[in-house]
Each structure stands twice: as structure tokens, then as C-alpha cells.
Amino acid sequence: MNRFGQTARKDLWWVRPLMVFIGLFSFIVYATWAAFQGEHYAIGPYISPFYSPEIFGNSPHSWFGPKPSWWPAVLGFSPALLILWAPGGMRLTCYYYRGAYYKSFWADPPACAVSEPRKTYRGENSLPLILQNVHRYFLYLAILFVIVLFYDAWKALWFVDPATGQEHFGIGVGTIVLTLNATLLGGYTFGCHSFRHLVGGFKDQLSRSPVQRKVYNCASCLNKRHMNWAWCSLFGVAFADIYVRLCSMGIWTDWRIF
């Protein structure tokens, strides 16, 4: 029997799990850093998706005003820390990402026909992996976040004239960035396996519910490219934060298209 890392395969089987590791680890590092900054997350009608919805904060996008007085002084405050646990939980427990980080982080297994570094496998029926079953509940929260992000994209169409203080319709590069981000996250969320079950996977005969069947078929169509949606939305949300951050810092200038 082969030991871990030993295989008769001659191809570079380790490249894919390595690239997945680099991609996921890079995102985790950047997202953690960005979440703790607590500044440069909004400019004009734009707000970073890492900070939306901004429940408490200092930007005009805040729903309930600045940091509450009851917030412990010993704890650092960032509006992102109040919300990122929800979309983060959605991705952490996602069926695709489970397979991705099981292979790349835990070597479970690292690749087909490659030995695992363990003798037993308990599956997801015991702690800690049984907690993955909360995925469907994180899905409900993720749907609400997608709605909020599309609303942010709508708000990104309205700019305030500094001379008159009046709002007017416009399209900037940031508008496109935020709209594309919401679309990618929507494709990822509504192509989720749990969403398919939610809209019709639990029924024996979908043909008796034509509307439900169409929604299920649409979700199934998105699900066929679930991996693509997952990666595109992952880097899309990171780039949206980078774009808003650099515009807020004055490093980038938001070009107005219309």
C-alpha cells in the first residue's frame, strides 16, 4: 500500500489542490485584514460588499448610525465584523468548498488514487464536521445579503452633485463593479444545492407545479457551473472591496461613464 504522497500516477496531481490552497488562503488573509480596517470602505454612493449592510458605522450608508455606546471599549470595532460571519459561514459550509478545502487543506483526499494521511474516516456524522449541516440556514441569510447588494448596486446609480446637493442618475466604473459583484454572488447563491432543494428538490413530481419547476430548472442550470460561480464570486467580492478602498484612499479615480 502506498504511503501518503506516494502514487503510481505520473501527472502533476498536486497542482490543483495547491492552487486551491493558494486561492482560498489568499482570500482569507485579505478578507480578514480588510474586515479589521474599519475605514476606506465607502465613497459617494459606493460601499464595499465586505461592509454591507453597514448596521453601525460612520459612513452615510450606516443603517443605525455610528458605533453604539454599549460596544466594549477594549474590543476593536469595524462594521464588517458584525456581518461577515454570515456570508463566511455560507462559503465555509458550501458543498463545493467542502470538497475544495478538504483536499487542499486537510488532504482528504489530496487527489484521486492518492493515499490519505489517516486510517479511519468518520464522515460528517460526528463533531466537528456534523456542523456543516447548518449550511441551509446560512443560505437563507446569504439570500438576504444578495438582495442588499443588488440594492447597493441600485444606489450606485445615483450621484450627488456637490454644487447643488441634488441626486442625479449616472454610471461609473464602480457602478459596474458593484453590479457585477452582486450578479456573481447571486449566481453562486441561487445555484447552491440547498437552494435547489428549497425551491423544489423536496417534491416527488415537479411537473404538477410549473412555476416551481421553472425556478428549479433555473437553479439547476446555475448549479452546473457552481464551481465557476464560486470562484468568480470569491474574487469578485474581493476586487469590489479593493476598488472601493483604493477610490476612497484617492489612489484610484472612479471614471464616470455616464
pLDDT tens digits, residue range 186-199? 999 999 989 998 88
Its pTM stands at 0.87
The reported pLDDT for the residue numbered 49 is: 97
The reported pLDDT for the residue numbered 110 is: 62
Phi, psi at 256, each rounded to 5°: -90, 115
Cell of 246: 483604493
Beta bridge partners of 172: 256
The reported pLDDT for the residue numbered 7 is: 53
What is the C-alpha to C-alpha distance for residues 11 and 167, in angstroms, rounded to an integer?
59
What is the C-alpha to C-alpha distance for residues 201 and 245, in angstroms, rounded to an integer?
41
- Beta carbons within 8 Å of 113's beta carbon, 6+ residues apart: 7, 8, 9
pLDDT tens digits, residue range 21-46? 899 999 999 999 999 999 999 999 99
Low-confidence ranges of the chain (pLDDT < 70): 1-13, 107-127
The reported pLDDT for the residue numbered 207 is: 79
Instruction: Name residue, grid cell 459596474.
Output: 176
The reported pLDDT for the residue numbered 241 is: 98
Check: CB of residue 182 under 8 Å from CB of residue 52: no
Cell of 163: 454644487
The reported pLDDT for the residue numbered 208 is: 82
